Amino acid sequence: MEENSKQYAETAIPQVEAETVDLEERDPESNSLTRPLLKRNRTLSSSPLAIVGTKVSHIESLDYEINENDLFKHDWRSRSRAQVLQYVFLKWTLACLVGLLTGIIATLINLAVENIAGYKLLAVVAYIEQERYITGLIYFTAVNFLLTSVAAVLCVFFAPTAAGPGIPEIKAYLNGVDTPDMFGATTLIVKIIGSIGAVSAGLDLGKEGPLVHIGSCIASLLGQGGPDNHRIKWRWLRYFNNDRDRRDLITCGASSGVCAAFRAPVGGVLFALEEVATWWRSALLWRTFFSTAVVVVVLRAFIEICNNGQCGLFGRGGLIMFDVSNVSVRYRAMDIIPVVLIGIIGGLLGSLYNHVLHKVLRLYNLINQKGKIHKLLLSLFVSIFTSVCLYGLPFLASCTPCDNSLPDSACPTNGRSGNYKQFNCPKGYYNDLATLLLTTNDDAVRNIFSTNTAGEYNPVSLLIFFAIYCILGLITFGIAVPSGLFLPIILMGSAYGRLLGLAMKSYTNIDQGLYAVLGAASLMAGSMRMTVSLCVIFLELTNNLLLLPITMMVLLIAKTVGDSFNPSIYEIILELKGLPFLDANPEPWMRNLTVAELADAKPPVVTLHGVEKVSRVVEVLKNTTHNGFPVVDDGVVPPVGLPIEATELHGLILRTHLVQVLKKKWFLSEKRRTEEWEVREKFTSVDLAEREGTIEEVVVTRDEMDMYIDLHPLTNTTPYTVVESMSVAKAMVLFRAVGLRHMLIVPKYEAAGVPPIVGILTRQDLRAHNILSAFPHLARSKSREKGH
């Protein structure tokens, strides 16, 4: 990435390196490290590679900082009130379009999934009614195999970044990491088609994560005017041709995706705030809420249309909505015990799930390294195994007689959805395991959440359901298809929640369906470590405020228990993928290290003069990978103090701006500073927002090499600086909070011969893993203390 002097591109599972303990070295604190999937250098700055989706990509940081050079200042001063109002209006317009398009696409995905899966299940039921069980299995497996093939082929061969949920990459982007091809048009199309295929195939995954990614893709494409190769160059879009505004739009897209998945507008906003966004302000809160409100309106309109029977088999399916507003919820003192127990179980199982999934993803990485065919075969094997389990396991369950109080139309049922599925049972009996397995995941949630059905499910059936969904959830996440973690975790959690409700039925007034809701909430908090957003999402799903107190208690307990064992599942995936995510809380040992010590562990900083020779600029760009260069001027007389010549730190200039200068050949025949009008003739602030072009594309003649470039007008004169005595912990908090790409270190003392800049810190320099690589004694001291 930035400031790397030694880089290599080797992708493999890292070997655990044994290090000898130096007994003379002591440090009070250190950090234990989870090693990533990509090998790291034993230097302060690490490899610029990370796994985006299932593709190893070269990553860079984003420029969220405002580049206050002369062009920006002139553009800002010359903006009229009408232009400012136009900019604000366009922000709200794009937020509306993000919500509108996300809602429409989410509806189309639900329509496609419910109809494809519905007709598939109807055909399977027809074979079962004719007692053609083997034919039904072959048909069920073949259709699922075909649907999975479509999703996997698209992800493997056309858009590897569309595989997985996409939420870890979105978190990284909003944290300041540019994830290549993550929000492109091809990724969006493959994500939509792949989600339809994977969910319709009955795989143990949800469309919630993909919907978050889809919403973010829509936002990014709208903000930049379309795909990279066919961008619309409208004048009004120039306002959004920067990373800061694109970040805000993608935040709106992420919240709209969650809203579209759960019909939870407030939950979507809080999800973006709690889980994915690093930078937040009140104006962004209003726009994200506006986007989610538009999504809800779109979904409501389509549901009204579908209720009239104009959507095929869609019906009530496709959008998870568990309305228990008519269920009376009463608590007793005795009910606190199972509620606390659910929270503890959720935290334990959630952390265990994270640990095992971490190992599975490492194994899958070894398989995926063998090539695209192995990725495809892995996905197809999981599809076949899932189909056999979903179809075959219900035969292990015994038939249960229908309750006499239920009408014949309600029990048993033979359609694609509904409780009390008959499956292979005689008339008047139903198969409770088939009710949960031989259906879509959304209908399975509705069935297991159903209230006033105390005797519907047998404990053995719930145990089988819980066990198989744990296995399927672990082996499905990580294959090369779009996938989400929400729904598998909800199904696993609801199974043990309902089991606990069965065990406590004689001691509690809480319905078993509500126990299933609490179980799902606890496992999500135990794995994802979200609290506020999950609480509001479940509140909007259940539509019952009386559940709020016990839901809050369950979430807090589950998160607390889970945090004592390992990080959240998304943090684990970020580390495995090698995405340089900066956490909000620095490690305690970072307070014992100064930024000057970090600068000493890096190669000397490369600086440029305010008026520099073309040959020097070309040499620096070709021989370094740095993305920012300090600009210094010698022989400057300060405006105050003694009239003695000094060295001035004029600011910081970006690599992309230097490349544009070379491409446009803005050269001077003599060494001088340019006038303000000269730079405006050649560049605009819009030009400087472009990040395209490399030094390899530039052709400079020998005569031009001896000419000069005035870097002053293009230099950011107000870069963020820290004094060399500042602790790394404090510098990291500032770096993350402001959304920086470069942080300059200035000397503590000013004297003759002291350079105006000590070094530059970038994202990679502040990561705990890279610091421990350069200062291994910090890790040794902690292991030595544990030994004592």
Cβ atoms 511, 451 nearer than 8 A: yes
Average pLDDT, the chain: 84
The pLDDT tens digits for 703-760 are 899 999 999 999 999 999 999 999 999 999 999 999 899 999 999 887 767 888 999 9
Percent residues over pLDDT 90 in the chain: 47
Tally helices (H) and strands (E) across the chain: 28, 14
Is the pLDDT assigned to residue 406 strictly greater than 60?
Answer: yes
Q: Mean pLDDT throughout 585-603?
A: 89
**Comparison of pLDDT for 442 and 614, the residue scoring more:** 614
Token pair 């296995």: residue: 471
Angle (deg, nearest 10), helices 548-563 and 532-542: 150
Report the chain's terminal Cα–Cα distance, integer Å. 39
Cβ atoms 324, 534 nearer than 8 A: no
69 residue type, one letter: N
Dihedral angle, C-alpha 198, 377, 120, 311, nearest 10 °: 20
107 residue type, one letter: T
Cβ atoms 351, 565 nearer than 8 A: yes
**Type and span of the H or E element at 684:** none
Classified by CATH at the fold level, domain 333-398+441-577 comes out as Clc chloride channel (1.10.3080)
Cβ atoms 321, 263 nearer than 8 A: yes
Model confidence band, residue 778 (pLDDT cutoffs 50, 70, 90): confident
The pLDDT tens digits for 646-698 are 788 999 999 999 998 998 898 999 988 888 888 888 887 777 777 777 888 88
**pTM of the complete model:** 0.88
Is the pLDDT assigned to residue 13 strictly greater than 60?
Answer: no
**Comparison of pLDDT for 547 and 657, the residue scoring more:** 657
DSSP one-letter string for 202-256: T-S--SHHHHHHHHHHHHHHHHHTS-GGG----GGGGGG-SHHHHHHHHHHHHHH
The mean-pLDDT minimum among 13-22, 229-238, 254-263, 557-566 falls in 13-22
Q: Kindly report whether the peptide bond that precedes residue 394 is cis, defined as omega within 30 degrees of 0.
A: no
**All residues at 6 or more sequence positions from 104 whose CB lies less than 8 Å from its CB, including other chains:** 298
**All residues at 6 or more sequence positions from 437 whose CB lies less than 8 Å from its CB, including other chains:** 389, 390, 393, 394, 444, 465, 468
Is the pLDDT assigned to residue 327 strictly greater than 70?
Answer: no
Model confidence band, residue 640 (pLDDT cutoffs 50, 70, 90): low
Q: Where are the domains of the chain?
A: 2-60, 70-307, 333-398+441-577
Whole-number pLDDT of residue 711: 93
Phi and psi, residue 380, nearest 5° = -70, -35
Opening angle at CA 398, ends 392 and 401, nearest 5? 130
Model confidence band, residue 44 (pLDDT cutoffs 50, 70, 90): low
Helix then strand then coil, % of the chain, to nearest 5: 55, 10, 35
DSSP one-letter string for 148-199: HHHHHHHHHHT-GGGSB--HHHHHHHHHTEE-TTTT-HHHHHHHHHHHHHHH
Cβ atoms 200, 441 nearer than 8 A: no
Whole-number pLDDT of residue 760: 94
What sign results for the dihedral spanned by CA atoms 40, 42, 46, 49?
A: negative
How much is the CA Rg of the chain, to the nearest whole Å?
Answer: 29
Is the pLDDT assigned to residue 11 strictly greater than 60?
Answer: no
Is the pLDDT assigned to residue 34 strictly greater than 50?
Answer: no
In terms of Cα–Cα distance, which of 540, 493, 554, 548 is closest to 271?
540
**Comparison of pLDDT for 388 and 281, the residue scoring more:** 388
Whole-number pLDDT of residue 318: 47
The mean-pLDDT minimum among 147-161, 257-271, 415-429, 518-532 falls in 415-429
How many Å apart are CA 433 and CA 445, to the nearest integer?
13
Edge-to-edge strands, sheet with 628-636: 608-609, 628-636, 646-654
Contacts within 8 Å (CB) and 24+ apart, 534-538: 534/267, 536/264, 536/266, 536/267, 536/270, 537/258, 537/262, 537/264, 537/267, 537/270, 537/271
Is the pLDDT assigned to residue 76 strictly greater than 70?
Answer: yes
Cβ atoms 761, 719 nearer than 8 A: no
In terms of Cα–Cα distance, which of 384, 521, 400 is closest to 457?
400
DSSP one-letter string for 554-604: HHHHHHHHHHTT---HHHHHHHHHT--PPPSS--GGGGGSBHHHHHHTSPP
In eight-state DSSP terms, residue 451 is S
Cβ atoms 70, 712 nearer than 8 A: yes
Model confidence band, residue 628 (pLDDT cutoffs 50, 70, 90): very high
The mean-pLDDT minimum among 230-239, 336-345, 556-565, 588-597 falls in 230-239
Q: Do domains 70-307 and 333-398+441-577 have the same CATH topology?
A: yes
CATH superfamily of 70-307: Clc chloride channel (1.10.3080.10)
Model confidence band, residue 535 (pLDDT cutoffs 50, 70, 90): very high
41 residue type, one letter: N
Whole-number pLDDT of residue 547: 82
